[in-house]
Amino acid sequence: IFCRCFMAKRVFKTDLSVKGIEQLKKDLLNYKEVELPNKIRQYVSELLKLGISVSQAKVNESPLGKYITLSTDISADKMGCKGILIAKGEVKEEVDKDGNAYPPFSTILAIEFGAGIHFNPTPNPNADKFGLGVGTFPGQIHAFEDTWFYWDETDQQWKPTHGVKATMPMYTAQMEIINNVVKIAKGVF
């Protein structure tokens, strides 16, 4: 008589003897303590690779993309493994020729949520969750005007702008990961 235990694609076979059951117990413990954590780490790694790929493409669509850095962090967790997709952007602080300081401008918030209604008639779907809408990140006061001016340090003059289009790198990566979570799990496990 044989006993089979299926775990993902892994099949454990044994006969129903004391020696067979002991071996099955060792095999199952090894799977639980070594093989399964390795598979989980690989799974989270694959999800993060997809997230980086998608978010980088969206970052590259924006002229502000050169100010954005993407990275990942993966670590063991009591639930198995934790992966984080991280986007960091520069914060621009401007002072005009008269010494007037303008509120800081966050490049990552600008390309995630947009600045100005001209390029962003529809808000990021996560805007309400974070209390951020088109151009409503801290200090952004001209979000719903079609054109406003900013001080260009290089040319020492005021220049018009319609704002920044939201390319939504983090939202798009999140949705792509959600849509592929089962497919990737099947591939890894």
Pairing of strands 105-106, 91-92: antiparallel
Helices (H), 97-151: 107-113, 127-130
Q: What is the pLDDT of residues 54-110, one digit of tens each?
A: 999 999 999 899 999 999 999 887 777 889 999 999 988 877 678 877 777 888 988
pLDDT of residue 6: 40
pLDDT at 5: 37
Averaged pLDDT for residues 138-153: 64
Distance, CA of 157 to CA of 133 (rounded, Å): 29
Residues 6+ apart with CB under 8 A from 97: 151, 156
Residue position matching structure tokens 């088109």 = 134
What's the pLDDT band for 51 if we cut at 50, 70, 90?
very high
Cα–Cα distance measured from residue 173 to residue 55, given in angstroms and rounded to the nearest whole number: 5
Tens of pLDDT along 151-173?
Answer: 677 788 877 888 788 999 999 99
CA distances from 108 to 71, 102, 185 (A): 13, 18, 30
Mean pLDDT, residues 40-62: 95
- pLDDT band of 135, cuts 50, 70, 90: low
pTM, two decimals, is: 0.74
DSSP category for residue 35:
I
- List of residues 6+ apart from 26 with CB closer than 8 A: none
